[in-house]
Amino acid sequence: MIGNMISKIRKEKGITKTQLANETDINIGHLTHIEKGERNPSHKALKSICSALNIPYQQLFYTYDKTLSEEQLEYGYINHINYNKIPAISKIDEYIDCPANFSDASFAYKVPDSSMAPLIKEGTYAYIQINGLIENKSIGLFKFNNEYMIRRLLYKKDKFVLRADSKDIKDITVSNKDSLQIIGKVYL
């Protein structure tokens, strides 16, 4: 996935592979292998690539050992991943213990509603891995049209659907007019 992200960002910024190779002192052949997902860059090379692309290193690093499924590629999952934004936190309530089996968690998010009950209860903490891959029917933290929510991500008929476990809450079918950002994967 990291290669997909590097390629996407490079193209969005109008930078050629040759320009990126020259800026980073990475052989263009090696850079091609990285972008195709055939090799992972070293941490030093990744920092150099991020510097040349003028993006934060940590956000891209979260995608380091992830692999996109064919389904995720088909649905354009990568277009909804933040690579140049970080969470802005206005208040830290407290520090809580992070269970060992959630070692990839980046932060804990206090669940504001009962939309995912009984699996995730209102007022409890969900452990979030920033830019963690969310498979079909898995649970994630999303920013949908400026509203943060925890939902299941479904792939249906060329569209993403955000589903609450509560039957009282309607599914959200994401259209091209909507803004969807995948914040991260929820660990249960």
CATH number of the domain that 63 lies in? 1.10.260.40
84: pLDDT confidence band, cut at 50, 70 and 90? Answer: confident
Out of 49, 67, 85, pick the residue that ends a domain.
Answer: 67
When mean pLDDT is compared across 90-99, 110-119, 121-130, the lowest value belongs to: 90-99
For the cut 90, the answer to whether the pLDDT of residue 82 exceeds it is no
pLDDT score of 62: 86
- Does 107 fall in a domain? yes
Note whether 105 and 172 are same-domain residues.
yes
Note whether 130 and 181 are same-domain residues.
yes
> Do residues 148 and 179 touch, judged by C-beta distance below 8 A?
no
- Does 120 fall in a domain? yes
- Does 74 fall in a domain? no
- Does 6 fall in a domain? yes
Domain extent, residue 106, equals 100-187
Note whether 125 and 176 are same-domain residues.
yes
pTM of the model: 0.84
Is residue 158 left, alpha or beta, with left meaning phi > 0 and alpha meaning psi from -120 to 50?
left
CATH number at residue 180: 2.10.109.10
64: pLDDT confidence band, cut at 50, 70 and 90? Answer: confident
pLDDT score of 66: 87
What span, in angstroms and rounded, lies between the C-alpha atoms of 62 and 132? Answer: 7
For the cut 90, the answer to whether the pLDDT of residue 143 exceeds it is yes
For the cut 90, the answer to whether the pLDDT of residue 16 exceeds it is yes
For the cut 90, the answer to whether the pLDDT of residue 88 exceeds it is no
- Does 182 fall in a domain? yes
What span, in angstroms and rounded, lies between the C-alpha atoms of 21 and 40? Answer: 15
What span, in angstroms and rounded, lies between the C-alpha atoms of 33 and 154? Answer: 31
Question: Domain total for the chain?
Answer: 2
Mean of pLDDT over the chain: 92
When mean pLDDT is compared across 15-24, 46-55, 85-94, the lowest value belongs to: 85-94
Per DSSP (E only), the strands in the chain are 107-110, 125-130, 139-144, 147-156, 159-163, 172-173, 180-187
For the cut 90, the answer to whether the pLDDT of residue 85 exceeds it is no
For the cut 90, the answer to whether the pLDDT of residue 50 exceeds it is yes
pLDDT score of 110: 93
Note whether 127 and 180 are same-domain residues.
yes
Note whether 56 and 131 are same-domain residues.
no
Q: Average pLDDT in the 10-39 region?
A: 95
